[in-house]
Structure 1
Amino acid sequence: MNQLAVTEADLHAYVDGLLSDARSEEVAAYLAARPEEQARIHTYREQNEGLRALFNPVLDEAVPPRLTAAAREHASTFSSSYWRFAAGVLIAIVSGAGGWMLHGAAQTGVLARSAIKNANGNIALAGFARQAAIAHGVYTPDVRRPVEIGADQEDQLVTWLSKRTGADMHPPKLGKLGYELVGGRLLPGETGSPVAQFMYQEAGGQRLTLYVSTDQAQNRDTGFRFAQQGTVNVFYWIDGKFGYALSGGVNKGELAQIAHAVYDQLENRPQ
């Protein structure tokens, strides 16, 4: 019987240990004759290990009490968008099958631009999400002028950012999660097009930023992703032409809960 051709799906299943013993032997023989493919598979395995090392600890993290209370309060009003988001967050946090995440990205080249390993072996950011993390690091420490227009002039902020970006730029409300809007500013994006940054702060002084890009129509990496740039954790996702990145120094579990609140408000906003 003729041996079946080895496909890209076979290679990723091989990385994740999902093939039968017989098929694994066939793929191993295929790789033995192709050193360049062996090197690629080795890279995939290293990426899997990095993803697991980064994301698996969240399973042991307790959800902050204020987020648990907010979830209970709104449990009856969760929309179907919650479950779509939750599925994406679960994949991003646990990353138990990183090879399959890489499978789709290998075809488009997107993941290589979105998440790369830094010198410490952690997953670092590239692209618009990296820009968001850098902007977070630059502006959140500023005590006197962290934003260009403050929350006390929210209407002016919305009008200005919406006009400059050419899109509706109303900031999500996060007060029930303990974060109040500080204000926002206009920043240059990857291609020079304007992007919006909204900043939030909780009572203890912890700050989060939401970075909104409008030039992501070419980016087909629509899944929810989690990564980090230095000490900044980031959840980011694409929705049509929009790219959203929520950045902060809080743990992955809390950031995921807040990212859901942001996503849910954006998904259900009247058009």
Structure 2
Amino acid sequence: MISMPPSERDLHAYVDHQLSDSDRQLVETYLAGNAQISARVRAWQQDAQQLRAALSGALQQPANPDLDPAMIRQRMKRQTRRHLASAAMLLIAVGIGGVSGWQARQMTLVSTQLPMSDALQAYRLIAQQGLLPADYKAGDDGNMQGWLDRYFNQASRLPDLTGAGFRPVSGRLLSTEQGPAAMVVYEDGGGHKISFYVRPPGPHNYLLPRGSRSDGGLQAEYWSGSGYNYAMVSPADTPTAQLLKQTLNF
């Protein structure tokens, strides 16, 4: 039995005729009272019909997961996000020019041999030097988690650091060779900053064990979960770094 309101995955299952009769009736009742979502689902259904018509001969062959309409939509969505993130990084490099543009390029090319090097470099560029402007500020509508979910809806939730005196204040969409990444900056009442960084796993889908490392005066606590790599970055050898490590149970 699906939960209500139905998730995007439930709606895709409805379009692809993968729900039970009872679940299908629940979704249809929900769509009848939600015109905007109903229009989106009808568009998906039309896409699916066109795909089935175009592949009518191929559909007589053994099932191929790569041709599943839901998988095709997911791949198109990932490609769109990756292109948007890459375009954003290119505009940044052109717009700020000179040293800052070169540093933005270096962040996308940083070595993958050391875990979460790009998270440390992102902290330097955004939290320390302020060279890359924020895409989103908490004051815009106060929903930093909602902003992050637009790009990483399957990722782990933002850490709750209110007990340590930190709250999320801004977010920045970035680009890696594996796809879009994002950094959320937290700040306390004294202006001290830490960051939460999420990115796709590295080459060969490389996930990270829990660990930490220092680099250039910064400390990174990193881990993996829900198909992504994460890092919390703060200045090393400070009370903030110790507090962060205790809060994350590292």
Please state which band the TM-score falls in when normalised by the shorter chain: 0.3 to 0.5
More relative contact order in 1 or in 2 (CA 8 Å, sep 6+)? 1
TM-score by length of structure 1 reads 0.43
